[in-house]
Amino acid sequence: MFGRGRVEKRSGLTVALLTGSATFALFLIVALAAIWAVYYAPGPAARQGDSTVVTLPSGSSVSAIAAQMKAAGVIRSPDLFKAAASLTGADRRLRAGEYDVPSGTSLAGVLKLMVEGRVVRHFVTLPEGWSSAQAVDILMRQPVLVGSVEETPEEGTLWPETYEVTRGESRQSVIERMQVAARDNLRVLWAQRAPGTIARNPEEALILASIVEKETGVAAERPRVAAVFTNRLRQGMRLESDPTIVYGLTKGRPLGRGIRRSELTQATPWNTYLIDGLPPTPIANPGREALRAVLNPPADPALFFVADGTGGHAFANTYEEHLRNVARWRQIERQKAGLPPEAPAPAAPGMSTAPMTDPAGQPAAAAPPGQATLTLPAGASQGPNR
């Protein structure tokens, strides 16, 4: 009797244990299925537009990230987010940054975005040859940046480059990054200068390189343009660069038209038709290749250049050769305008035929040698002010 009772009790206990285990297993399966369904189910719809932008600061904890995601409407439950991150090991691999989460992204998709670090990247580009005023304009148009620029930086102190910026970064901090890059790069390039450079110090290199940068949009021409200006300075000739006239008028803004005759003789500190040597400051922010060209000019005897109709320039060693190049450019301009060819006329002794326009749009009177030999017609350069 007693043995039989013990057997029955053990059997009942076994049945109870088996039943409990089965129930727990069933409960676990149901729970895992529910979590699985939530994990891969579509997430909340974006409150505005097709996506939601969330920025996660560096060093944020999983709890802080979950709270921020919930507040932004990207996830439904911070607890489920933390549980899923822990179970999948994502909690150790979440990356800070700005995320653009598409509307309805599942919890799995949200975690995948952050584990893979698919952050939104923002860039601002300062093109070579653009002025500091234009650089400020570029930054002010970038919506992810905040604040204002304290004052327009000195010309030539910003490094033309593409910079990655983050949402909420101040515009002034980007300016400071550009200035640091300019100082660092100029230091390196100055150390690599050749004995043949006309620049006596880094500031003169910046000034001349800025003029080279504005004179041509053809990268391969920079060394030769630098050589022309170097030769002219060595011979005591004036630079006679159109972009220096423009800078004196606009302080780095595009002129938007051709230079008028009255402006050719308008006295400004930058008008290299009137001043000897270099202007007092750069007229733009030159890039690496323009600086290299000025600091390592090739051995080239050219003293003049004018547009050649292809976007580049025709270079000349002598004034007579330059006049022939100017005459060809005049004919190209007339052809583009649908006008008949101009009958060749000999230039008066010591006079340049490089075209200018007066306020009425008529060709300006030519100037003596050393006063208009480098004039480029409007459109001859690819620079932003031409």
- For tokens 């006239």, the residue is 245
Spatial distance between the Cα atoms of 339 and 335, rounded to a whole number of angstroms: 6
Instruction: Summarize the confidence of residues 104-119 as an average pLDDT.
Output: 90
Query: Which residues of the chain does CATH 3.30.1490.480 include?
Result: 39-119
Residue type (1 letter), 87: L
Burial of 77 (C-beta count, 10 Å sphere; 0-12/13-18/19+): middle
Q: Of the ranges 158-167, 221-230, 272-281, 349-358, which one carries the lowest mean pLDDT score? A: 349-358
Residues written for the chain: 386
pLDDT at 362: 31
Tens digits of per-residue pLDDT, 308-321? 988 899 999 999 99
Instruction: Summarize the confidence of residues 266-291 as an average pLDDT.
Output: 97
* pLDDT surpassing 60 at residue 298: yes
Q: Which token pair is 378?
A: 């409007």
Instruction: Summarize the confidence of residues 153-160 as an average pLDDT.
Output: 98
Q: Of the ranges 15-29, 134-148, 255-269, which one carries the lowest mean pLDDT score? A: 15-29
- For tokens 């990356």, the residue is 95
Average pLDDT over all residues of the chain: 84
Tens digits of per-residue pLDDT, 14-59? 655 556 566 766 666 655 666 667 788 888 898 888 999 999 888 8
Instruction: Summarize the confidence of residues 241-266 as an average pLDDT.
Output: 94
Nearest alpha carbon to residue 227 among 291, 304, 292, 298: 298
Greater pLDDT, 299 or 9? 299
Spatial distance between the Cα atoms of 264 and 269, rounded to a whole number of angstroms: 13
7-44 burial by CB neighbour count: b if 16+ within 10 A, else e?
eeeeeeeeeeeeeeeeeeeeeeeeeeeeeeebbeeebb
Instruction: Summarize the confidence of residues 225-232 as an average pLDDT.
Output: 97
Contacts of 197 (CB under 8 A, 6+ apart): 205, 230, 294, 295, 296, 297
The class that CATH gives domain 39-119 is alpha beta
pTM across the whole model: 0.76
Query: If pLDDT is split at 50, 70 and 90, which confidence band does 328 have?
Result: very high
Q: CB of 124 within 8 A of CB of 165?
A: yes
Instruction: Summarize the confidence of residues 55-79 as an average pLDDT.
Output: 91
CA angle 98, 103, 109 (to 5 degrees): 70
Query: If pLDDT is split at 50, 70 and 90, which confidence band does 343 have?
Result: low
- Percentage, residues of the chain above pLDDT 70: 79
- For tokens 């920025």, the residue is 55
Q: Of the ranges 73-77, 331-335, 338-342, 381-385, which one carries the lowest mean pLDDT score? A: 381-385
* pLDDT surpassing 70 at residue 182: yes
277-293 burial by CB neighbour count: b if 16+ within 10 A, else e?
ebbeebbbbbbbbbbbb
* pLDDT surpassing 60 at residue 276: yes
